[in-house]
Structure 1
Amino acid sequence: MASATSRTPPSPPAYVPAAAPLVKLVVAGGFGVGKTTLVSAVSEMRSLHTEQTMTSASVPVDSLDYTPDKTTTTVAIDFGRLTLNPGNPAAPILYLFGTPGQTRFKEVWDQITCGARGAVLLLDLRRPEESFEAMDLLERSAIPYIVAVNDFPGAPYVSDTTVRSALDLTAVTPLIHCDARNRNSVIDALIRLVQHIMTAYHQDTAR
């Protein structure tokens, strides 16, 4: 008797549970606002960073007034992964893609944001204008996003009402505060983003 050929499909890798929904998220913002730090702080795997050493050629365009110790810059992506509830095989797995912060790298924006379900826009209140272009790109991409104020030491106090007004945020766009260095703080921000994505999705399907 000829042996039967197994038609059972191969099992997925252990780090990607079969039932787990995979959610692509973008971490956006200006130069030096903390995108790489955020991805590194929260990723459950060793995060990937496509960074290059900054040279004198960047001096006229990349201000280090508020980040004097910064020696590298992202030129393509930061990448990390987070499972929201590791004990649940059906828990969402978040894939985080950090974007470059400078205008000269914006040609990779469409590639990074393709298929993204939502985004965190990081804001440094010492220089909020650094994130204006990223915000404009998010608006044009029609990706649901939240604004997360990265609370740098020494940043001025600005009320949330003033920030919302200055950014002309819609009433439904969440504005939160986080510490990009703190894993728990970043997780809270990502949970808030997922909640916002789900709300936006249900509103769209109800129309």
Structure 2
Amino acid sequence: MTPIEPTAGRVAQQTVTRPPLPVKMVIAGGFGVGKTTTVRSISEITPLTTEASITEVAAGVDDLSHTPHKTTTTVAMDFGCITIDSALKLYLFGTPGQERFGFMWDDLVEGALGGLVIVDTRRLDDCHAAVDYFEHKQIPFAVAVNAFDGRIEHPLDDVRWALDVADQVPVIAFDARRRGSVRDALLVVLEVALSRTAG
């Protein structure tokens, strides 16, 4: 007669599958630096975007000299997500770039583990506000220099000096159009945030 395997034994052998831990991350920076492109490049779902056409009035306020073909702008936020592994899923919130929408930032960054501040080296002044914001809120972040046309205008050390960011803040180059490059940039932010948590 074949012995019957105890029910408890079968239950013990089963692997309990848990959903990945949700982690909020913010993608920030000035107008037209590539925030929406970054979220689009990496998101495993169709991103939620709140883009509106740039009107003649807005064109008079926003500097389009380096982005002459830009016809839309984010007026609220971008949203996407990416599963890093079985244990971790990033929820990405892209901020609007114009100062007149800055009142939304506090809501967007609430509960965020960290942030990626995207920089266009042709317009470094536009990125000071985002860097200052994360420093003031003491939110871990990394500075990511977007390689427009596949190149950056200034060495990373010069960018660090110009933005006056602390030594512990990573300053990296990336391409917002390339999924792998965006993934690597997000992992840098994740590492910075986790190291601060561990410390």
Report the TM-score, using the length of structure 1 for normalisation. 0.85
Residues in 2 aligned to 1:54 and 1:106: alpha-carbon distance in whole angstroms: 17
Q: Could you tell which deviates more after superposition, 59-68 or 115-124?
A: 59-68
Does the 8 Å contact 2:77/2:93 carry over to 1? yes
Q: Where does residue 140 of structure 2 map in the other structure?
A: 144
Q: Where does residue 5 of structure 2 map in the other structure?
A: none
Q: State the SS of the aligned residue for 1:169.
A: coil
Q: Where does residue 166 of structure 1 map in the other structure?
A: 162
* Structure that is richer in helix per residue: 2
Give the drift of 1:157.
Answer: 3.4
Does the 8 Å contact 1:27/1:96 carry over to 2? yes
Q: State the SS of the aligned residue for 2:31.
A: coil
Q: Could you tell which deviates more after superposition, 25-34 or 55-64?
A: 55-64
Q: 1:30 corresponds to which letter in structure 2?
A: G
Residues in 1 aligned to 2:94 and 2:73: alpha-carbon distance in whole angstroms: 12
Asked if 1:114 is matched to 2:113, the reply is no
Q: Where does residue 10 of structure 1 map in the other structure?
A: none
Equivalences for 1:58-207 in 2 at 5 Å? 58-85=58-85, 88=86, 91-153=87-149, 157-203=153-199
Q: State the SS of the aligned residue for 1:126.
A: helix
Q: State the SS of the aligned residue for 2:60.
A: coil
Cα separation, partners in 2 of 1:119 and 1:156, compared to 1, 3 Å: closer
Q: Which runs of 4+ in 1 moved over 2 A?
A: 154-157
Give the drift of 1:154.
Answer: 7.4
Report the TM-score, using the length of structure 2 for normalisation. 0.88
Q: Could you tell which deviates more after superposition, 185-194 or 133-142?
A: 133-142
Give structure 2 stretches of 5+ with no counterpart.
1-16
Residues in 2 aligned to 1:186 and 1:155: alpha-carbon distance in whole angstroms: 16
Compute the RMSD of aligned alpha carbons.
Answer: 1.3
Residues in 2 aligned to 1:153 and 1:201: alpha-carbon distance in whole angstroms: 36
Q: Where does residue 10 of structure 2 map in the other structure?
A: none
Residues in 2 aligned to 1:60 and 1:117: alpha-carbon distance in whole angstroms: 35
The size of the alignment, in residue pairs, is 183
Residues in 2 aligned to 1:167 and 1:159: alpha-carbon distance in whole angstroms: 13
Residues in 1 aligned to 2:48 and 2:150: alpha-carbon distance in whole angstroms: 29
The structure with the largest alpha-carbon Rg is: 2
Cα separation, partners in 2 of 1:154 and 1:129, compared to 1, 3 Å: farther
Q: Where does residue 44 of structure 1 map in the other structure?
A: 44
Residues in 1 aligned to 2:145 and 2:56: alpha-carbon distance in whole angstroms: 30
Q: Percent identical across equivalent pairs?
A: 45
Encode CA deviations 1:6-31: one digit per residue, 9 max, x unaligned.
xxxxxxxxxxx744111000000000
Q: 1:61 corresponds to which letter in structure 2?
A: V
Residues in 2 aligned to 1:185 and 1:21: alpha-carbon distance in whole angstroms: 23
Asked if 1:33 is matched to 2:29, the reply is no
Does the 8 Å contact 1:28/1:101 carry over to 2? yes
